[in-house]
Amino acid sequence: MRARRDLFPADPGLVFRMVAVGLITPLLVLAALIAALTVVPWRALHVHDWQVQSVLLFALALGVWVGVRERVAISSRGRRLSTADAPELHAVVERLCVVADLAKPALVLDRHAMPNSWIEGTSRGGFRLHLTEGLLDLLEPHELEAVIAHELAHVANRDAAVMTVVAGPGEALLSGGVRVVNQGWWPLVLGGGVATFIGWVGTLGGRALSRYREFAADAAAVRMTGNPAALAAALMKVSEGLVAIPEKDLRAAAAGDAFHLLPARDARQFMLPPTHPPLAARIERLERLERALQRG
């Protein structure tokens, strides 16, 4: 237990953000829904109350369905890797799980050229570590180990479960609402716009948590591997690899950016705060850790 505390020391800032996101996000979503029903001058737009309720419920349900289907479609591109499929990769994950005193997550290979990784799930349902084919092709073994350590740190810090339960639904509703709006039929445009707004509100807390948790996971990964340079090199390679991916593919992957190692797209298209801290800031922190290790 002492080794676990050394690897993942208490982080009051992270704990505060997780609790705040878990408590405040549902309240914000409820407030946004009430505002959509009461603040918007629907009658001035010659829309009756029953029409508003019907359209909103239908569009919200459709937005959730489209968003969830999109998330499922992204996940369904991958396949679970057995030990026989990738013995060396499993060995890396098992070794790091022993070091971190964690249960081994399921390994999922995502059939995507975009280099990225993410972890999702809960303790009750189990965690799933996603690695894309583009990532495996791009990184050297020691760099891949650093990335896996970073993802496992999200489990040890408990922020992976918070993001899955709290931030995931908002991201799905935002993505689904945007697609509903693009259908062009005015009831769907109206309801999809409300769904997009509620999803937008629901993502704010998760994005604020996501930015902070990346720094915490980077530091924990360094403590697990003792190799900050490997993680820094991996982040730079992934960033450069994302530039080469077609915009259409990045747009499809952006719905899960809050979970990714690095974001696929700039979130400012929806006037949203970024999901990750600047890459330069992460590299600078890793360089400081590298210098500290060398002095030690």
Residue 88 a catalytic site member: no
What whole-number distance in Å separates Cα of residue 197 and Cα of residue 33?
Answer: 9
**Closest C-alpha to 202, from 24, 15, 60:** 24
**Closest C-alpha to 177, from 61, 266, 97:** 61
Q: Element (H or E) spanning 148, and its range?
A: helix 141-156
Q: One of 151, 171, 287, 290 is an active-site residue; which one?
A: 151
- DSSP string for 155-218: HHTTHHHHIIIIIHHHHHHHHHHHHHHTT--HHHHHHHHHHHHHHHHHHHHHHHHHHHHHHHHH
In the numeric block, the tokens 């979503």 are attached to 29
**Closest C-alpha to 258, from 178, 160, 134:** 160
Q: Active-site positions? A: 151
